[in-house]
Amino acid sequence: MHYINSKTILSPKNGMNLYRGCTHGCIYCDSRSDIYNMNHRFEDVEVKKNALVLLKNELLKRPQSMIGTGAMTDPYIPLEKHLEYLRKSLNLIYRYGFGFTCITKSDLILRDLDLLKKINEKTKVVVQMTLTTSDDDLCRILEPHVCNTTRRVEVLKILQKHGIPTVVWLTPILPYINDNIENIESILNYCIDAGVKGVICFEMGMTLREGDREYYYKKLDEYFPGLKDKYIEEFGNSYSIPSPNNKQLMSIFNEKTDKHDILNKPDEVFDYISYFPQKSVQSRLI
């Protein structure tokens, strides 16, 4: 971990990155890609030391809307447990009448259930949870340093019990690893049981590019010997890596989500997440 001072904390679309880098160790993580110009080791998480001061100042200047954490770093990495930058940010978001959404794989989000409920009562909260495999043993390989799928589903159900809307990211689906009917149907059944509002799926497959590809292939050699050569032969250096089972799996995905009135088109899900209920706009507490 290392600290920096940042010039801003919110993007033009109200995205907030308190941290840069991650320690979850997911073998497929696109955030490792060279295109993002990270000038430090990925696991050496960069912490924006002045984030809370910046956030307070920027919230005072912006119209009330949804504040979201960026997708490059899970906001609930282990560092958050003692730094509490996100928890303190949630206090500001609540105080100034904004909504909140984040993408996570961690059950640490339950630590902040009290604040999430308060924000949701005042404006709106949507928690987005990534699910890639229904097999907890495989999960420990793909996403080794974060809670397993069974625990994430428990978190979704707890959030549902407390009236907090949820969305699931069904991505990435790794060719020849988790791209099978049993896995997709099991995850969708989890989503149905947990009452999720939407499932985000950009077809069945994954992406790879420089930086990410090398790390992923190293892990394939470690856990799935011989599979790297199959990827190289079939996909070369392509950015898009589609599952050969995409058509069949997408048919199952669309059928099950339609049947249970779960939003399944990415644009529709993103519209749902970003919509800020104007009737809930509150006066700002300075």
pLDDT tens-digit map of 16-30: 999 999 999 999 999
Lowest mean pLDDT among 36-45, 198-207, 211-220, 246-255: 36-45
Asked if residue 280 lies in contact with residue 124, where contact means CB atoms within 8 angstroms, the answer is: yes
Q: Residue 278 class from Cβ within 10 Å (0-12 exposed, 13-18 middle, 19+ buried)?
A: exposed
H-helix or E-strand spanning residue 3: strand 2-4
Could you tell me the pLDDT band of residue 285, with boundaries at 50, 70 and 90? Answer: low
Task: Enumerate domains of the chain plus CATH numbers.
Answer: 1-123 (no CATH), 128-204+243-276 (3.20.20.70)
- Dihedral angle sign, alpha carbons of residues 286, 53, 73, 146: negative
pLDDT above 70 covers a percentage of the chain that reads 97
HSE of 255, CA atoms in CB hemisphere, 13 A? 8
* DSSP class of 104: E
Separation CA 136–CA 154 (nearest Å): 13
> Among all chains, which residue has been given the structure tokens 């996403």?
143
Chain centroid to CA 116: 17
CA distance 33 to 12: 23
> Which residues lie closer than 8 Å to 172 by C-beta, 6 or more apart?
28, 132, 205, 206, 207
pLDDT band at residue 281, thresholds of 50, 70 and 90? low
62 within 8 A of 10, measured Cβ to Cβ: yes
pTM of the complete model: 0.96
Any idea which residue has 């909260």 for tokens?
125
Q: Which residue has the tokens 């519209």?
A: 271
pLDDT-derived band at 70 (thresholds 50, 70, 90) equals: confident
Gap between the Cα atoms of 44 and 62, Å rounded = 32
Taking residues 200-228, report their average pLDDT: 98
Helices of type H across 96-241: 113-122, 136-142, 149-161, 181-193, 212-223, 227-235
pLDDT at 71: 84
Q: CA–CA separation, 284 vs 142, rounded Å?
A: 43
Burial class of residue 60 in the structure, from the number of CB atoms within 10 Å of its CB (0-12 exposed, 13-18 middle, 19+ buried): exposed
Contact 22, 31 (CB under 8 A): yes
Nearest to 146 by CA among 23, 47, 30, 28: 23
Return d(Cα 262, Cα 191) in angstroms, integer.
9
3-state class of 168 per DSSP? strand
Give the integer Cα–Cα distance in Å for 259 and 193: 13
Give the max Cα distance, the chain: 60
Report helix, strand or coil for 69: strand
CA separation for the pair 18, 73 (Å, rounded):
9
Predicted local distance difference test score (pLDDT) of residue 278: 79
